[in-house]
A and B are shown apart, each in its own frame.
Chain A
Amino acid sequence: MVVPIGDYVALAAVIFFIGVFGVIVRRNPLIMLMSIELMLNAGNLLLVAFARLWLQNAGQIFAFIVITVAAAEAAIGLAIIVTTFRPERFVDVDDVRSLHG
């Protein structure tokens, strides 16, 4: 059976906005990182879906690159979280605001 493209787009949109919602609403950096991963994967889903639809493999390859970047980003993000919040027991991104103007 062939899944219509509209379903993919709808699913990706739902996943993406769950991610957006998570980044904006949650204050725990770990959850925020996970939300960002959700958004990236929503993008990946679209890339792969359209690559399949238009029979162009560039999209597939690009999805791999995004996965790689996401992995690197998660590693760096986790490292930052560990160094920033090591002395604290609770983690809250709103406490880290030394860059405020």
Chain B
Amino acid sequence: MASHALGVTGTYPLVLTLWLLPLLGAIICWAFGPQLRTMSGWLASALVGISFVLAVASWSDATQGAGGTLGAHQPLASWLPGFDFGLLLDPLSLIWTFIITGVGFLIVFYSIGYMDGDRAFARFFAYMSFFVFAMLTLVLSDNFIGLLVGWGLVGLASYFLIGFWFERQSAVAAARKAFVINVVGDVGMMFAIFLIVANVHSINFGAVFAAAPALSAGVLFAICVTLFIGAAAKSAQIPLHTWLPDAMEGPTPVSALIHAATMVTAGVYLVARCAPLWDHSHGAQLLVGGIGAATALVGAILGTAQWDIKRILAYSTMSQIGYMIMGVGVGAYEGGIAHFFAHAFFKAQLFLGAGLIIHALADEQDIRAMGGLRRRMPFAFWVMLTAVLSICGVPGFSGFFSKDAVIYGALQHGHPWVYATDIVTAGITAYYMFRLLFVAFLGEYRGEAAQARAAAEPARRPHAPAWIMNAPVAVLIAPSVAIGAVLMFGGENSPWQRFFAPLFGATSSRAIALPPVSEGVTTLLVFITVIIGFAIAWQRYATRSAQADAVARLRRESERMPALLTNLLYFDWLIERLFVRPAQQLGALFGRVLDPHVFDGAVRDLVYWARWLGTLVRSFQTGLVRAYALILVAGAACFIVYYAVAAGVR
């Protein structure tokens, strides 16, 4: 049983400051961008960096206490009884704050190099700072309405940043799509809040979770499902995932921060935060666990068919978030959060590594047009290699510990089908990640076209010193390799488990089934599928014969790609048929019938009669003063006669 944290009441200026600093950065970059120029990047990253330092400094506040008084609670405002707004920094929000401000700092710093020479340099950093603020609002709120506000603001920030290069038609379309799908999620969350308020009469986490055991199963299931609609839209779970690959239209640091490390994991946060609700609803656990596992599988399958380096990473993000959602969905909260934590590092590293390549090759994103980069960009190769090993779950790397915890957690909580799906997915993950690595880095160099394009417009990118982009990536390598071994080694007694024990209780007490397979066997199974995936990728892309005629082979592969995969499993097609087209047809129908004949018609009729009345009354307005006088007198006479007669009758 997860005990829940309301937090001791007191003031924690650290929490307030670390929450507001990025907002300050956003306002300054937005207002004084033209004056600050490149200084805006340094300012934004400095403020986010200070936030991170403050987050580290509030560690002891966030982990003090237990049960109902766990964490640091900073009240902000009171509204109606039961509707208090405040900030809550407990172990769960602390982990997210670390990633948002820590990885966020590295990515914002990296952007100083990546965005160098962009016309809207300062605007970019204003949006990035605003995103960090919005995301902190989301994870630090101690109530559902604050959560929803943060939820909406990160969607807005994501919209701004996907459409950052708004001269591109595709970027605008992608931004709009992301926003619309996210709003579907927001509406789902709003209904969840309606249900919560109607049944609990409070929005504060502590009060709602304390009341959770008393709620009827149906109400609890409905709350969980509507909450999960929000989580699914934000975290790209099927069938609401289609916006995430398109969101890669944004600048690469945006993809790294928002669409890999932080915003898309908001759904994981939501489910973990609402653990007391999920703990009491077995149906919701089944649903969320199932959708998470299905998303992991679908994302991995779709990742095998992509050629755009960022789209491969986007589908891999979707798949990995599937793992996390599955983990927190079935009740393996520590595992799901661990995978979020490790994923934030290695996926940010993958995206930033991809950014190094894209930056060097003049915006080339097609891995077919890369090849042989291992010799030309050795640093990028090592960055990508370590991150790929981590994401595939090679023993010893961070991804190994977190992914095993998630997969084994599914079995511990009695979901064998989810468990089996996850193991298969791990193999596919290894296949598409090594495919990316082999095609882009091995063999002959195929980037002449991009190189020529870059040479043709040398003035476009005045280059910042390379260390600005290399240093943050180098810093990321350490946690994405080692954080798992440091924190998550040792099962029930690992520092990670002990860190979350006050929040979720002991894992062993929550696990409901005696697993038929031990954790060691699970590790072995995962490792075998990873080896198989790696071997297939090796055989298809890395052997000498595959390297020899790589260009022809890759062209043949793209031509023979099954229609099912080139059409992305028909998700977009289905959404188009089921929702977009009917909505457009309904709109057209309203435009043809309802609007002109009912709404416009009513207005037009009103105008017609008003004009008729006006014409009638106008004829009295002769402009002859004497006529008016006569009418006045006649009127007066009528009155006099009336009253005289009335008086006479009486």
Q: A and B bound?
A: yes
B622 and A97 contact, CB distance less than 8 A: yes
B626 and A101 contact, CB distance less than 8 A: no
Cα–Cα distance between A20 and B633 once the two chains are bound (Å): 8
B623 and A97 contact, CB distance less than 8 A: yes
B633 and A101 contact, CB distance less than 8 A: no
B633 and A24 contact, CB distance less than 8 A: yes
Distance between A73 CB and nearest chain B CB, rounded to angstroms: 14
Cα–Cα distance between A23 and B632 once the two chains are bound (Å): 11
Cα–Cα distance between A96 and B620 once the two chains are bound (Å): 16
A93 and B622 contact, CB distance less than 8 A: no
Closest B residue to A23 using CB positions: B629
Known A-B contacts A20-B633, A101-B618; the reply to A27 vs B623 at CB < 8 A is: no
A23 and B623 contact, CB distance less than 8 A: no
Contact of B622 among A24, A25, A100 (CB under 8 A): A100
For residue A1, CB closer than 8 A to chain B, the reply is no
Distance between A32 CB and nearest chain B CB, rounded to angstroms: 7
For residue B625, CB closer than 8 A to chain A, the reply is yes
A93 and B620 contact, CB distance less than 8 A: no
Contact of B619 among A24, A25, A101 (CB under 8 A): A101
Contact of A23 among B617, B622, B626 (CB under 8 A): B626
Question: A25 contacts which chain B residues (CB < 8 A)?
Answer: 626
For residue B624, CB closer than 8 A to chain A, the reply is yes
Known A-B contacts A20-B633, A24-B633; the reply to A99 vs B626 at CB < 8 A is: no
Binding site for B on A (CB under 8 A): 20, 23-25, 27, 32, 93-94, 96-101
Question: A20 contacts which chain B residues (CB < 8 A)?
Answer: 629, 633
B633 and A99 contact, CB distance less than 8 A: no
For residue B35, CB closer than 8 A to chain A, the reply is no
Cα–Cα distance between A99 and B624 once the two chains are bound (Å): 9
For residue B584, CB closer than 8 A to chain A, the reply is no
Question: B625 contacts which chain A residues (CB < 8 A)?
Answer: 32, 93-94, 96
Known pairs A23-B626, A101-B623; list 17 more (Cβ under 8 Å): A23-B629, A24-B633, A25-B626, A27-B626, A32-B625, A32-B626, A94-B624, A94-B625, A96-B625, A97-B622, A97-B623, A98-B623, A100-B622, A101-B618, A101-B620, A101-B621, A101-B622
A-B contact pairs, 7 of them (CB 8 A): A25-B626, A93-B625, A94-B624, A94-B625, A94-B626, A97-B624, A101-B620
Cα–Cα distance between A32 and B630 once the two chains are bound (Å): 13
Question: A24 contacts which chain B residues (CB < 8 A)?
Answer: 626, 629-630, 633
Cα–Cα distance between A100 and B628 once the two chains are bound (Å): 11
